[in-house]
Amino acid sequence: MVDITTELSGLKLDNPVIPASGTFGYGQEFSKIYDINILGSIAVKGTTKNARFGNEQPRIAECTSGMINSVGLQNPGIERVISEELPELQKIFHKPVIANISGFSVEEYVYCAEKINNVPNVGIIEINVSCPNVHGGGMAFGSDPQRVAEVTRAVKEVTRKPVYIKLTPNVTDIAEIAVSAENAGADGISLINTMLGMRIDIKTRRPVIANKMGGFSGPAIFPVALRMVYQVHKAVKIPVIGMGGISCAEDVIEMMMAGASAVQIGAANLVDPFICPKIIHDLPEVCERIGIHKLSGIIGTID
């Protein structure tokens, strides 16, 4: 029998499959169509200090092998997430979740991390450093190793939970950013977030997205994500959660061979709401077919 269990910073997972933040909400809708307790964990929708309505519409554009979104971190704010969303999720999902935190200043990251530190069903805090730094000219925190280290250190000071830094791929050297986070105390790395993309409506001669550009995700970015997971795993000693275009059990195995201890499924949830249980169902069969007896044993086995 194939063992598909894995572990993230002491958090034991029945399997490595985790729906990615922003593609699974707070689990309520998906719980109506299947038992979400089959999942390894859930990365809940990104949370900011204050409620956000998000960007102007249209904010979704379809692509040949993926999609572009510019939702703009729409969420009810940290207070409501803690008082309403996470307690409701705990009623239907009986495992620790990953809380995704976003901010536009170091102070906002710290505020949210400190607030969510005492929530019992949060097992890991995932810090999204792809947000624009309002005190740094609008450049994303994740594009500057020093800013990533600053956010990491500040968050680690106010929480006892494992902190994973979610990295943007829109940088020159992803490994340098990851090492900076590790040196500042990060317990793990999540990557990749969406790539920057754009579509144009040739009839109106205007960008499809109101914000002009947005985050490109889906199967087309999988080779880039795989390469970056490989590079980061080689550069750091902390666990890596791999994501970016994963849509089948074989993709999960590739990601883990490249260095991921677990994976997140993003855009595929929006195409097929049953994709996560399908992958979990297929994993043992695929492993057995290619001679894998323990899934965690293949992590980072590519030289």
Q: Known catalytic residues? A: 131
Which residue, 172, 174, 173, 155, is CA-closest to 164? 155
What does the alpha-carbon distance between residue 217 and residue 219 come to, in Å, rounded to a whole number?
7
Q: Which residues contact 220 (CB under 8 A, 6 or more apart)?
A: 63, 64, 65, 66, 245
Q: What is the CA radius of gyration of the chain?
A: 18
Strand partners, 197: 214
Which residue, 13, 45, 50, 40, is CA-closest to 27? 45
Burial 240-274 (b: 16+ CB within 10 A, else e): bbbbbbbbbbebbbbbbbbbbbbbbbbbbbbeeee
> How many alpha carbons lie under 13 Å from residue 44 in its C-beta half-sphere?
30
Chain CA centroid to CA 273, Å: 17
What does the alpha-carbon distance between residue 58 and residue 70 come to, in Å, rounded to a whole number?
8
Q: Which amino acid is at 26?
A: Y
Q: Which two tokens stand for residue 188?
A: 């793990």
Do the bridges between strand 163-166 and strand 122-128 make them parallel or antiparallel, or are there none, so unpaired?
parallel
Q: Which two tokens stand for residue 123?
A: 């097992």
